[in-house]
Amino acid sequence: MKILLISDIHGDYNALKDVYNQNLNCDYYFLLGDSMLPKYLTSDFLTVKGNCDFEDYKESYDLVIENFKIHLEHGHKLYPSLENYVKNIDCDIFIFGHLHRKIYKKTDNKIIINPGSLTQPRDSNIGTYALLIIEKNNVNVVFKNYSFY
């Protein structure tokens, strides 16, 4: 099972389309908020609403994939502490955006993933997205660089 994770494109449809077309072999496509795009342009993605989105996307999704409970949200409400916030969410994998920084860590038997920002990274000058790969009860995350220059 391969899942494409993208966040914080801030209106850059060409970047979204480019990364989508490079990853047509994925089983799912998650867009973690701040797309700033109309729904018809994000119809291939399960999309959550970010703090900059004007469309009426859902605030979060909870789903089960390959026996893992997965929670998706943008992440703009998880203050003051990511770890304390995630501890209260019933999930195995917590996926969010908002920070524009890639994160992969385990805490309290939960996996936390942020794919970074495709077009406005804050942890380097190279945009990122991620592939979540679930095989035989193993979870692997691969970060991919995306150059938007």
Select the more confidently predicted residue: 149 or 118. Answer: 118
Residues 6+ apart with CB under 8 A from 135: 1
Q: Domain spans of the chain?
A: 2-146
Return mean pLDDT, the chain. 94
Q: What is the reported pLDDT for 78?
A: 81
> pLDDT-derived band of residue 149, with 50, 70 and 90 as boundaries?
low
Q: Looking at the whole model, is its pTM more than 0.75?
A: yes
Residue 26 pLDDT greater than 70, yes or no: yes
- The CATH code belonging to domain 2-146 is 3.60.21.10
Query: What tens digit of pLDDT does each residue of 134-147 get?
Result: 998 899 999 999 97
Query: What tens digit of pLDDT does each residue of 77-120 get?
Result: 887 788 888 998 999 999 999 999 999 999 889 999 999 999 99
Query: What tens digit of pLDDT does each residue of 40-75 get?
Result: 999 999 999 999 999 999 999 999 999 999 999 999
> pLDDT-derived band of residue 148, with 50, 70 and 90 as boundaries?
low
Phi and psi, residue 85, nearest 5°:
-65, -50
Q: What is the reported pLDDT for 81?
A: 82
Q: What is the reported pLDDT for 124?
A: 86
Q: In what helix (H) or strand (E) does residue 15 lie, and over which residues does it extend? A: helix 13-22
Q: Which residues of 34-70 are buried (b: 16+ CB within 10 A; e: fewer)?
A: bbbbeeeebeebbbbbbeebeeebeebeeeeeeebeb
Provide mean pLDDT across the span 114-135: 94
